[in-house]
């Protein structure tokens, strides 16, 4: 079944650790996105990609980095986690928004940095 998967679902990690949040989609979508959402707050775009080897920063400044080596895979990395990085991270993909295609979201990763 075509879908978008995020792992881990929950992560509690100590300050200073390096972490990678995984996002994979089986729909063959070129465009992928990472959003950050604090509890009860709006979603903010932190990274996006329009295809392999293409990555851009979003509207909200983030210390995380992303890579897009394969179409289906768009991991997000924090080199040194801090308590301020505690949040929910949501991955999304879309085939062609300019043609009216909608976005599909993953289940999210809830990150807690202690």
Binding footprint of other proteins on the chain (CB under 8 A): 6, 33, 42-43, 45, 48, 50, 56, 58-59, 88, 90, 92, 97-100, 102-108, 110
Of residues 80 and 107, the one with the C-beta less far from other proteins: 107
Of residues 16 and 97, the one with the C-beta less far from other proteins: 97
Please enumerate in sequence order all residues whose Cβ is within 8 A of that of 28, keeping only pairs 6 or more positions apart, or say none.
71, 72, 95
Of residues 48 and 79, the one with the C-beta less far from other proteins: 48
């Amino acid at each position: 079944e075509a879908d978008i998967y995020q792992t881990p679902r929950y992560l509690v990690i100590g300050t200073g650790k390096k972490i990678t949040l995984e996002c994979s989609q089986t729909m063959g979508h070129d465009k992928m996105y990472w959003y950050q959402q604090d509890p009860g707050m709006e979603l903010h775009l932190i990274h996006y990609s329009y295809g392999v080897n293409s990555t851009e920063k979003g509207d909200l400044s983030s210390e995380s980095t992303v890579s897009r080596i394969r179409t289906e895979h768009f991991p997000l990395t924090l080199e040194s986690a801090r308590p301020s990085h505690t949040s929910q991270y949501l991955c999304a993909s879309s085939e062609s928004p300019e043609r009216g295609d909608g976005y599909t979201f993953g289940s999210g990763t809830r990150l807690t940095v202690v």
